[in-house]
Structure 1
Amino acid sequence: MHEISLLENVREILQEHAHSQDFKQVIKLTLEIGKFSCVEPDALRFGFDVVMQDTLAEGAELILIESPGKGVCNACGQESILDKLYDPCEFCKHPFVNITQGNDMMIKDLVVI
């Protein structure tokens, strides 16, 4: 389950920012998860409390937002919204679309004190 490793990385990022931006506690954390990121939201929710125990994010509210998949067509250059990783271009139906959004996870918002 790589979600635990991802949460450990989030915890490290929070600790670094707490030090540099002088906050003591995370009240709410919003993570944006790309549609094609292979991150399982239920696994993140399951592991969040365990990974954040005894840290500045213990007891924080976790909000997960899914970002859509997008890509640019190699043939027509149009940006398409993609439901599946290998969907063709929605405009010209060309099979090769370069993914531009939806394969990452990032901290979208923090509420801290």
Structure 2
Amino acid sequence: MHEMSICEGIVQVIEAQAALQNYQRVKTVWLEIGALSGVEIEALKFCFDAVCHDTIAAGSSLHICEVPGSAWCMQCARALTVTARYDPCPNCGSYQLQVTGGDEMRIKELEVA
């Protein structure tokens, strides 16, 4: 389950920023996770609580903003929404799609004390 290592990375970023910005506790974490990122959101939520135990983010709440997948069809020259990386274009059936969004994963905001 790579969600555990993702959560460990999130905590590392939070702790590094705490040292730079001098805050002692994190109350809330907002993440943006794209539909095409390959992250299982329920597993991430489960792992987040476990990884945050005994850190400055212990007891913090996690909010996830899901970003839809988007792509550009090279055959019919249209922007479209996709739910999986290898879906065909719903307009022309082509598989020549360039992903343009929805593959990101980032810490959007922290509420700190």
Alpha-carbon distance in 2 for matches of 1:90, 1:109: 34
Q: Which deviations, in whole Å up to 9, do the C-alpha atoms of 1:9-61 show, x marking residues without a partner?
A: 00000011111122111110011111111111111111111101111100000
Q: How does the TM-score come out when normalised to structure 1?
A: 0.88
Residues 81, 90 of structure 1: 8 Å contact kept: no
Q: SS state of the match for residue 27, structure 1? A: strand
Structure 1, residues 57-101: CA drift from partner, whole Å, max 9, x if none?
000001122110001222344321112322333455432111111
CA contact (8 A) 1:49 1:59 kept: yes
Between 87-96 and 34-43, report the one with greater CA deviation. 87-96
Aligned pair count reads 113
Q: State the identity as a percent.
A: 38
**Residue of structure 2 equivalent to 1:106:** 106
Q: Which amino acid aligns with 2:42?
A: D
Measure, in 1, the Cα distance between the counterparts of 2:11 and 2:30: 13
In 1: Cα distance, 2:66 partner to 2:97 partner: 20
**Structure 2 counterpart of 1:24:** 24
Q: Distance in 1 between matches of 2:75 and 2:20?
A: 45
User: What 5-or-longer segments of structure 1 have no aligned partner?
Assistant: none
4+ runs deviating over 4 angstroms: 90-93
Normalised to the residue count of structure 2, the TM-score between the two structures is 0.88
Structure 2 distance, partners of 1:92, 1:40, is 30
Tell me the residue number matched to 1:84. 84
